[in-house]
Amino acid sequence: MHASDMPDGPPKTEPALRAIAMPADANPYGDIFGGWLLSQMDLAGGAAARRRAKGRTVTVAITAMTFHRPVFVGDEVTCYAEIVRVGRTSITVKVESWVRRGIGEEQIAVTEGVFTYVAVGEDRRPCPVPPEG
């Protein structure tokens, strides 16, 4: 995605997760590790999947992940999750991450990815996703 293709602003939905990027999550230059950001996105997508499945879910795939801009120590990271597909046992979630730097109000798109989760029962085996409603 080129800068001209970036969305004008974050999704209008409720955030799935907010976190502050801390020094322990960064390299010596203050850039946040991609793995830390990926884990925040997985938490956000997993929360949306759990609500939809009305129970436990596990991550089975990350089919797309794009890092548009860096995240720095002190950034407020907000992840938005949107369910884009529900299968028999699976739920696919698009997750976008946005940051606010310092005390500013401008929100900057930094990453997006597509995560797939599978609903699992008490036995930790796949189970059907219940109908919506």
Residue 103's CATH number: 3.10.129.10
pLDDT digits (tens, 9 = 90+) for 70-98: 999 999 999 999 999 999 999 999 999 99
pLDDT digits (tens, 9 = 90+) for 29-67: 999 999 999 999 999 999 999 999 999 999 999 999 999
Instruction: Let me know if residue 7 belongs to a domain.
Output: no
Chain centroid to CA 88:
22
Full 3-state SS string of the chain: CCHHHCCCCCCCCCCCEEEECCHHHECCCCEECHHHHHHHHHHHHHHHHHHHHCCCEEEEEEEEEEECCCCECCCEEEEEEEEEEECCCEEEEEEEEEEECCCCCCEEEEEEEEEEEEEECCCCCECCCCCCC
Instruction: Let me know if residue 47 belongs to a domain.
Output: yes
Give the total number of structural domains in the chain. 1
Instruction: Let me know if residue 132 belongs to a domain.
Output: no
pTM for this entry: 0.90
- Residue 3 makes CB contacts below 8 A (sequence gap 6+) with none
Instruction: Let me know if residue 58 belongs to a domain.
Output: yes
Instruction: Let me know if residue 110 belongs to a domain.
Output: yes
CB 17 within 8 A of CB 44: yes
Domain extent for 47: 15-119
